[in-house]
Chain A
Amino acid sequence: MRGFHILMLLGGFALVGANGFLGREFFGSRKRTVLPPSVRQTPGAWRTFLHNNGFHGGK
């Protein structure tokens, strides 16, 4: 129980600290990715990339 208590304390403060001081979010419909170098080299190519690699994997 003591280990569980310590884990919960650390977990609770880690969540509130990471969110409050680092701006991290852990829940919700969101995901982060990085454009491939080939896409970044072509101006505006990210639009098509996002069209094909959208939130649910493209259309």
Chain B
Amino acid sequence: MASSCPSCGAPLTFRPGTMVAVCGACKTLSARTDRDPERIGVAADLVDTGSPVSLQATGVHAGRGFTVAGRVQMVHPLGGVWNEWYLAFEDGRWGWLAEAQGRFYLTFQHELANHAPPFEALRAGAVLNLGDQGQWVVAEASEGTFHGAEGELPWRPALGATYRFADLSGAHGAFATLDYGDAAPAFYLGREITLEELRLKNVREASPRVKVLGLNCPNCGAPLPLRAPDATLRVVCTSCGGMLDAEGGKLRYLKSLKQPSVRFFIELGAEGVLRTVPLTCIGRMQRSCKVEGVVYPWREYLLMDRKGGFKWLVESDGHWNLAEGVAAGDVDSGGVNQAALRMIERSAGPEAASRMREAMEAGGAHSPFVRFKGASYRRFQDVEARVDAVFGEFTWKVQQGEKSQVTEFVQAPHSLARETQFHPGSGQEVNWSLSTYLDPAEVATGFNLKEALPAPTGICPNMPNPHKRALAQMGTWTALALGVLLAVVMVLGFTHREKLVFSRTYNLVEELAALKAQRRAALVAPTAGTASGAPADPAPATEGEPVFFAGPIEIVESGKNIEVRVSSPVDNGWLGIEGALVSERTGEVEMFEAQSSYFHGVDDGESWSEGSRKDTVYLSSLPPGAYMLRIAPAWEGPVPPVKEFTVELRSGVMRWLYVWLAFFAITIPPLLKLFQSMGFEGRRWAESMYSGQGGSDSDSDSDSGGDD
């Protein structure tokens, strides 16, 4: 529908659905009526935000063409403006394209089946269940003030009016807004989108994001280059400490700050590359928290990439982290578990269920764990962070002494920080950021720093466990080695079928009598042979020292050990055996010693025993051949403690001792590494407010970050 401006008469167009048209000549807002357009008022000049979107740009979404028909600029309570572009689709529908901090969110109005909660009930970070419309995280509940407009608008704004809204974040980039402008909240549903996805044509010539605007401090006159003039809202002069408002590339002096001396390592304007992303340092600040009376400061560097996105480089005690924002909806803090609530209601009553529902709806505020991209992050600490010192440019109206509630969840080498900030009035917002631990050398190389960075001290919450990688490698080798050991054991079990090569029970009474007689005979005829047929001993043992000889014993297999078993029925006594296997051919002698010893009794009503009636000695393999066995028993006193004893020899005996030794040798190093790794984790979590508990609420452990 064609019409004309009620103020200047310039032509106006009202396409289907257009409620208000803004005159391109005199900026008068005219509302559509049944008759002539109704004059609402004159809009303020729009702030140049450097947006690439412009009126009459065209594009395609979901196969339907659209034209950018209008725009409204709103002022945020923390300063700064954001754009809402209105897309008129070919089929008559309207789309809302919100633009803030270089990001775009496309939404469409939807009917809300469930009643939305009142604005006053919303809490940033809380989980909001909208029934059929899904479960959302309240990312921000705040208000915006109408600043200006152009083109055609599908709603009727009031000049200078304030509108309350809630931005909702869902999983996988889903985005929604509850608009509390009317009596019943309007629901807009969509997702974050890129201009490339919208295939925008006729866009404004994209101005380079990293352009430096050469200005001077209005307080001291020192050069004050603005490296992000489109986004910067506040600047702090490094020369005079003057805090300046920066909007539309103009500086306005606010006040002088009394800043503490802070040692920074990266200069303002320094350019570097971190994780392949070129970045420029545009601002830096020191923040701190106080826990149990101790102040813990850290330094943060605001970095801008070439597309106008921002990251933070955070340094604390020499540890460095690179942080970037993530959508609140992508962080799963558990949400409202209806089944658990029903169970609690049945078991503990409705009041307990109500309290649990509140805790669940508060989202990460009470969760011991949160999940992000499939990984579980454990709650580490809750602190109130305070801004101590600020230098350079910032994309929000930063204040010295500004406070926010920070909750940190850890999954090394990453951590998730949930930062809640309260706006002037009743607004509040929650921002999640993902930090990745960086090696100081990576920072030094990335920014080509000439000054050596201080060595990290202590353990940073998300510092990678230095033992984890080695432990994984050792685990692989250990599994491999255990497999080989198992194979070896199977082979040995097959080849070691123990073979009895000698067994004899010595009757000491008979043997000693025979020996006595033999020695007497030997004294008469020194060259007489022995009972075993062996050659006569040219110098026999003295009387009372029994020695028995046996053999020859045939050792057939080479490379097989020999087991010697000695047993006797001793009772509260001992019988020692000194033995030897002798090869007269090679002259090799294998000597051994074994003892059958068993004592027992009762002391103070307690029975006890020690020793064993059996003893075993293992001999190394002997070359195959015939061997003589020498057995020399010994005992205490004139009479033997037993009548008889037995000696057995076996070859090729499986030795589990060596298998177990190999097993321990294989497993001890990884176990030591595991203990090292666990010790590191123990020291890490000893610093946590939730060490050993995994989730108690210890908000009372932290207090204010200092005097205002």
A interface residues, Cβ below 8 angstroms from B: 1-2, 4-5, 8-9, 11-13, 15-17, 19-25, 27-35, 37, 39-40, 42-48, 50-51, 54-56, 59
Interface of B is mostly: mixed
Contact (Cβ within 8 A) B672 A48: no
Cα(A2)–Cα(B586), bound, Å: 45
Q: In the complex where A9-B477, A24-B620 touch, is A31 in contact with B665 (Cβ < 8 A)?
A: no
Contact (Cβ within 8 A) B488 A29: no
Cα(A19)–Cα(B189), bound, Å: 74
Tell me which residues across on chain B come within 8 A of A35, comparing CB atoms: 582, 587-589
B203 within 8 A of A: no
Contacting residues of chain B (76-115) with chain A, CB-CB under 8 angstroms: none
Which chain A residue shows the least CB distance to B632?
Answer: A54
Partner of B537, one of A13, A39, A48: A48
Tell me which residues across on chain A come within 8 A of B549, comparing CB atoms: 47
Determine, out of B317-325, B377-385, B590-598, B682-690, the stretch whose residues face the partner at the interface. Answer: B590-598
Q: In the complex where A1-B470, A47-B549 touch, is A8 in contact with B665 (Cβ < 8 A)?
A: yes
Cα(A37)–Cα(B657), bound, Å: 37
Contact (Cβ within 8 A) B591 A32: yes
CB distance from A1 to the nearest CB of B (A): 6
Tell me which residues across on chain B come within 8 A of A11, comparing CB atoms: 665
Contact (Cβ within 8 A) B578 A25: no
Contact (Cβ within 8 A) A59 B545: yes
Cα(A12)–Cα(B484), bound, Å: 12
Cα(A55)–Cα(B592), bound, Å: 7
Q: In the complex where A20-B492, A33-B591, A48-B537 touch, is A1 in contact with B621 (Cβ < 8 A)?
A: no
B interface residues, Cβ below 8 angstroms from A: 470, 474, 477, 481, 484-485, 488, 491-492, 495-496, 534-541, 545, 547, 549, 558-561, 578, 580, 582, 584, 586-594, 617-621, 628, 630, 632, 652, 655, 657-659, 661-666, 668-670, 672-673
Q: In the complex where A12-B662, A47-B537 touch, is A17 in contact with B488 (Cβ < 8 A)?
A: yes
Q: In the complex where A8-B666, A28-B618, A59-B545 touch, is A46 in contact with B594 (Cβ < 8 A)?
A: no
Cα(A11)–Cα(B535), bound, Å: 45
Contact (Cβ within 8 A) A48 B658: no
CB distance from A47 to the nearest CB of B (A): 4
CB distance from B612 to the nearest CB of A (A): 14
Q: In the complex where A12-B661, A47-B537 touch, is A32 in contact with B668 (Cβ < 8 A)?
A: no
Give how many A-B residue pairs fall within 8 Å (CB-CB): 157
CB distance from B223 to the nearest CB of A (A): 54
Contact (Cβ within 8 A) B592 A30: yes
Which chain B residue shows the least CB distance to A12?
Answer: B665
Which chain B residue shows the least CB distance to A23?
Answer: B621
Tell me which residues across on chain A come within 8 A of B536, comparing CB atoms: 44
Contact (Cβ within 8 A) B661 A40: no
Given A12-B662, A13-B484, A28-B592: 12 more A-B contacts, CB < 8 Å: A1-B672, A8-B668, A12-B665, A13-B481, A15-B661, A15-B665, A16-B485, A20-B495, A22-B559, A39-B587, A44-B534, A44-B538
23 A-B residue pairs with CB within 8 Å: A1-B669, A12-B485, A12-B662, A13-B485, A15-B658, A15-B665, A20-B488, A20-B655, A22-B621, A23-B560, A25-B618, A30-B617, A31-B590, A32-B591, A34-B589, A35-B582, A40-B587, A44-B537, A46-B582, A46-B584, A48-B538, A54-B632, A59-B545
Q: Which of A4, A19, A21, A22 has the most CB of B within 10 A?
A: A19
Cα(A33)–Cα(B580), bound, Å: 10
Contact (Cβ within 8 A) A34 B587: yes
CB distance from B388 to the nearest CB of A (A): 42
Contact (Cβ within 8 A) A50 B618: no
Cα(A28)–Cα(B619), bound, Å: 8
Tell me which residues across on chain A come within 8 A of B661, comparing CB atoms: 12, 15-16
Q: In the complex where A25-B561, A30-B619 touch, is A51 in contact with B538 (Cβ < 8 A)?
A: no
9 tightest CB-CB pairs across the interface, nearest first? A23-B621, A12-B665, A44-B535, A12-B662, A35-B587, A5-B669, A29-B593, A48-B539, A47-B537
Cα(A5)–Cα(B587), bound, Å: 41
Contact (Cβ within 8 A) A55 B593: yes
Tell me which residues across on chain B come within 8 A of A30, comparing CB atoms: 590-593, 617-620
Q: In the complex where A1-B673, A12-B662 touch, is A24 in contact with B621 (Cβ < 8 A)?
A: yes
Tell me which residues across on chain A come within 8 A of B652, comparing CB atoms: 23
Tell me which residues across on chain A come within 8 A of B663, comparing CB atoms: 12
CB distance from A23 to the nearest CB of B (A): 3
Contact (Cβ within 8 A) B591 A55: yes
Contact (Cβ within 8 A) B592 A29: yes
Tell me which residues across on chain A come within 8 A of B659, comparing CB atoms: 16
Which chain A residue shows the least CB distance to B535?
Answer: A44
Cα(A4)–Cα(B666), bound, Å: 11
CB distance from A52 to the nearest CB of B (A): 8
Tell me which residues across on chain B come within 8 A of A33, comparing CB atoms: 589, 591
Cα(A35)–Cα(B585), bound, Å: 10
Partner of B541, one of A1, A43, A51: A51
CB distance from B549 to the nearest CB of A (A): 7
Which chain B residue shows the least CB distance to A8?
Answer: B665
CB distance from B485 to the nearest CB of A (A): 7
Tell me which residues across on chain B come within 8 A of A12, comparing CB atoms: 481, 485, 661-666
Which chain A residue shows the least CB distance to B481?
Answer: A9
